Structure 1
């Protein structure tokens, strides 16, 4: 009840009491009792009004205490980096922290008393996710126990966040629904770290395997290749077979070379090198292969010489691996564009873009894994080596691709290597 209404009722009640008691005193109380009745009336009025004031003061203290506790609770949940949400038994939002409101783009929305499906009207980007929350909440209610799951939430910038979501249903003594507590912890970095650890462990296994078998393979390989070349010179009748054998032996030798690169960490000697020269050497080497596929390589490289602190041979191998993949993925008459640009934070950007067959999303997620390849005779080691070269140069590599539209690879390198 509003304060003005309470004050109005107090004045009305006081006037009624004064006139009613005076009426009683005039018409029904003997004159000999007038003095006592008036004193009794005053005492009674003081007791009643005092009781009313005491009641309101007590309630105000409790209200202030409640507000203070609510303020502390609000400060606590707003300081959390997790999504915190309280709902009533009907699924209406009671309280949500600032992190959650910002996450669902509901900062300026009066969310209290609204269901997720109603809030979906205020957040077009997350409308599907909010509507799905009602389905997920219902599953928690039906289970009657705490539920926990990981939910992947898209972000407007195209990235995703992973949340470890815990939902706690609360019930009245009669079993009816009282409320729902939802806590969503952002575990994106943890999952990414686990993924990097998984890839590191896989590389470690590959390295151990490489160290133990690479040299053992190469020794008999050299002998086999020598004997095949000898037979090729002496037997002109089976030249096609000998050539196939030599090609396969060369392929095995190439795989062994890649394994040796992964066998153990190598000390890299960095030197300043013109990125234009590195790319020109690579393009000159691959132009013949591109011509065989009827693919054109275009260069969009600035005339100003850009020096990069790097290991030139490793960079050449990196660009050879990436451009060869683009050539093989591009249909006849296609184009591969290489763009070089100096960007902010003293970094150099190299982009290799083709208009080939593209890469599906499930394959994009597994790029760089050893022994994973879509090619019939591929080992997947080429991109594994490429990732390692980029990592050893403290750079980043990112693939962006659409099926039947093409692939774009962007590599960022720092111009200088610190803490070498």
Structure 2
């Protein structure tokens, strides 16, 4: 459209020059100078016309080079797997790559010249995210330095992507805003990998502690139990013969029983890791444990509510160990609930090959500091606790190729999530096969 307009202007300007100059020469110039002036007029017209043509040719070349540079820049940023965005000094979008447009659902939007708040009107899901970007841009310009921050961006499918976002403010020589460069790198996979490595290190650390405790248990537990039996026998004998100090003898017997219980937990930790799996009904195991602990729950004025499905769930496990696991967790929940508390137990199958058991209480909860050390040997929040009960529980879950996870807030209660395979052999084999698959990255 611009070229057509220039051609029309050039055409009419030329006509006006030719006929206008001829008219002036014919009426106001003597005949003796007419021929010379006509030649001068033609030469002048050629020079002016040539100058304009040369000017427009240079402008056309510059425009073509600019378009080529813009095309190369567009190709470059669109080939990047990061979100790239250029903005002017007012925060208006100048250029963005395809990744960024798809990320914010702006593929079919004429985004150039618009601010984030204006673009927010074109995408309901990311409206708040775009408005927050505009606020963050203002802070970057205000600080007058490069900013780098990790941002979480929710996705329509319910998941979340994490970006390492760098914002570079650009200024004119007089200090006024020139523009802003925004680069956001997707670090979701890297973040997940770091989290998995941290979890693996934590498991190794716990395994090492269990190994140390196991070695210690194997070497001293039997040696402790032998003199313990003698001490208990003599105290019982003295209790029968000496009626004056019955109170003290009972305290001694209770403490000896507690030592014997600790030795029993140490011996359990010292047992070999090999487990003989058999098929057992989880619902029945949980009901047996609830019946066993019902008297203790009544003593603490705590109600146990079971939310079991009608169907029975059979899994491969070591039933006695699972009972010990459930006893440890439910007993802790009862003691944490206090007077008038509630302990809720439920389970469900998780597709396709695991079962989830959840034990919740509305008790005192666990602080973040203590929650990080749950399961460590000899760490307990109880006054006379050893922490070995949960250590044993972690070991049982580990030997069953499962996972155990605690969620808790102080004064709001605790929930324990236990995930166990339904069939041990197929579950272990499938996870080994998945580890052998080549990584897509």
Q: TM-score range by the shorter chain?
A: 0.7 to 0.9
How far residue 176 of structure 1 moved from its aligned partner, in angstroms, is: 6.7
How far residue 249 of structure 1 moved from its aligned partner, in angstroms, is: 0.8
Q: How does 1:16-415 map to 2 (within 5 A)?
A: 16-28=13-25, 30-33=33-36, 36=39, 40=43, 43-44=46-47, 47=50, 50-51=53-54, 54-55=57-58, 57-77=60-80, 79-80=81-82, 83-87=83-87, 94-95=94-95, 126=129, 130=133, 133-134=136-137, 137=140, 141-142=144-145, 151=150, 153=152, 155=154, 164-166=164-166, 168=168, 179-186=180-187, 187-236=190-239, 237=245, 238-257=248-267, 259-260=269-270, 266-360=273-367, 363-364=370-371, 367-369=374-376, 372-415=379-422
SS at match of 1:327: helix
Q: Does the Cα contact within 8 Å between 1:120 and 1:130 map onto a contact in 2?
A: no
- Tell me: CA distance 1:315–1:107, structure 2 relative to 1, closer, same or farther (3 Å): farther
Q: How many residues align?
A: 407
Q: Matched residues in 2 for 1:391 and 1:197: separation?
A: 13
Structure 1 unaligned spans of 5+: none
Q: Matched residues in 2 for 1:228 and 1:38: separation?
A: 132
Q: Does the Cα contact within 8 Å between 2:140 and 2:147 map onto a contact in 1?
A: no
How far residue 60 of structure 1 moved from its aligned partner, in angstroms, is: 4.4
Q: Does the Cα contact within 8 Å between 1:202 and 1:370 map onto a contact in 2?
A: no
377-386 or 96-105, larger mean C-alpha shift: 96-105
Q: Matched residues in 1 for 2:132 and 2:367: separation?
A: 24
Q: Matched residues in 1 for 2:332 and 2:100: separation?
A: 43
Q: Does the Cα contact within 8 Å between 2:210 and 2:377 map onto a contact in 1?
A: no
Task: Calculate the aligned-residue CA RMSD, in Å.
Answer: 4.2
TM-score scaled to structure 1, two decimals? 0.76
Q: 1:172-214 CA deviation, whole Å, 9 max, x = no partner?
A: 6777765445444524213313421441342144134224422
Which residue of the partner structure matches residue 9 of structure 2?
A: 12
Q: Matched residues in 2 for 1:138 and 1:132: separation?
A: 10
How far residue 133 of structure 1 moved from its aligned partner, in angstroms, is: 3.0
SS at match of 1:267: coil
Q: Matched residues in 1 for 2:97 and 2:368: separation?
A: 34
Q: Does the Cα contact within 8 Å between 1:89 and 1:180 map onto a contact in 2?
A: no
